[in-house]
Amino acid sequence: MPRVELARSTGLSFPAISAITSKLMAEELLCEAETEAATLWPDDADEEDADGLNGRRRGRPAVLLTLNPEFGRIVAVSLRMNLIETLIADYSGSALAQSRLELTTRALDAAALCELVIAQIEAMLDATATPRHRLLGIGMALQGIVDADTGRHLWSPALSITDVDLAKPIREAFGVEVVMANDAVAVALSLVAAEPALAQGLTATLMVGHGIGMGIVVDGEARWGAGAGSEIGHVKLGSNGPQCRCGQRGCIEAHLADYALYRDARTFLDLPPAVSQQPSEAQMALLRARARAGDPRLEQLFRQAGHALAEAVATTISVLRPHHVILAGPGLEAFDMMRSAYEERLEQAVLPWLLKSTAIYVRPSESATIVDGMVRRTLRVVDRNHMETTE
């Protein structure tokens, strides 16, 4: 954050940093932070604070620079099964307001969906008194397949429509860039940003929840073939496994996603029906509670899920050879019940040399992680566009 640190991390010289930062400050994109924390020194964290001087040292103190939160705002929308979550953040990425709208998403056609999303975005702008020209970009995280080259939405379990350009009507309504991404990609970006070590090399984030998604981040950036998303959830574990909502059979998702677990549990257990086959968070919590109470059939169900998770991780490691694998998403709440089956299967399913050279992290993440990651992604795209236009 201080200029010295920027020079070190970018490898540029002081004069260069000085010139760049002063130009950006003239654009009101950057600003100097308050003098309070400003007197803390950059490399203070790892030294003892016992000098009683509150982290101060000799010499001119560094001036902290921050993104000017007032430079503009970003709206991120997460479109999931029966849920539209919206968040507005300032230019530094801090959330200003958010909303959740529950409805049966599969009942919507493309026009109705876009109308709803536009209304949600407008509500966010109104709630934070954001003038239109302060809106810099909109990010949409979608549960399903997105073609990153064209931005088109190809297929989603949450929607009955396929192969439509959802971004276009929204772009036209607000006149700003609309960034589309798979929701697992958004989660991946959020988690990678939280731990600097994960931003080095290739990090694969497996999101387990309503579906199974994967986001791939290379050196902190989400860039890839046809999108940073991977459809590992629809890799098959056998040619005649359980029915998946994609229409095919034996998908990893059909063994591991919460809708699959709930559906299978209902075949032998008395549980309330799920709305459009999508159990609520409360229903999944109930399922876990019953399993922990000691139902052997449920324990078996979670063991099978553990096997499916291990197969997913094994395939990821074998095909992608990532440096880091993150297991994330609400499905990990039940990881304790999957663990032994997962570990046992993983050993059998990956070459030991590969397993040894991959670090696996478990990070059960909240729902807000999606919109947080989407804000980051959108900010990056907006910044890139801004750079290109001012040059």
**Contact residues: a second copy, CB under 8 A:** 145, 147, 154-155, 162-163, 201-202, 214, 218, 224-227, 229-232, 234-236, 238-239, 246, 248-249, 311, 314-316, 318-323, 345, 348-351, 353-354, 357-358
And the tokens for 263?
């559906």
Q: Considering the complex, what minimum distance in angstroms separates the CB of residue 238 from a second copy?
A: 6
Q: Which of 1-9, 108-116, 171-179, 191-199 is the region at the interface with DNA (rule: CB under 7 A)? A: 1-9
Question: Nearest Cα to 256, choosing from 203, 195, 303?
Answer: 303
The item of a second copy, DNA, none sharing an interface with residue 249, based on CB under 5 to 8 Å by kind, is a second copy
**Cα separation of 306 and 311, whole Å?**
9
Distance CA 331, CA 308 (A): 12
Cα separation of 130 and 124, whole Å? 8
Which among DNA, a second copy, none contacts residue 163 (Cβ within 5 to 8 A by kind)? a second copy
Whose Cβ is closer to DNA: residue 39's or residue 98's? 39
Residue 12 CB neighbour total at 10 angstroms: 14
Q: Is 53 in the site for DNA (CB under 7 A)?
A: yes
Task: Tell me whether residue 129 or residue 387 sits nearer to DNA (CB atom).
Answer: 387
Q: 3-state DSSP call for residue 209?
A: coil
H or E element in which residue 308 lies: helix 296-320
* Helix or strand (DSSP H, E) at 344: helix 335-349
Asked if 59 interacts with DNA (CB under 7 A), we say yes
**Residue among 135 and 186 whose Cβ is closer to a second copy:** 186
Choose between 15 and 131: whose C-beta lies nearer to DNA: 15
DSSP assigned state of 278: B
Binding flag, residue 13, DNA (CB under 7 A): yes
Which residues have CB under 8 Å from 266's CB, separation 6+? 273
Neighbours of 129 (CB within 10 A): 8
Q: Is 68 in the site for DNA (CB under 7 A)?
A: no
Q: What is the DSSP letter of 62?
A: P
Beta bridge partners of 142: 79, 182
Q: How far is residue 256 from each of residues 188, 192, 282, measured CA to CA in Å?
A: 19, 24, 18
CB of 56 to DNA, least distance (A): 5
Nearer CB in complex with DNA: 30/192? 30
Residue 194 beta carbon to a second copy: minimum distance, rounded to whole angstroms? 20
The answer to whether residue 18 forms part of the interface with DNA (CB under 7 A) is yes
Q: List contacts with DNA (CB under 7 A).
A: 2-4, 11-22, 35, 39, 41-42, 51, 53, 56-63, 391
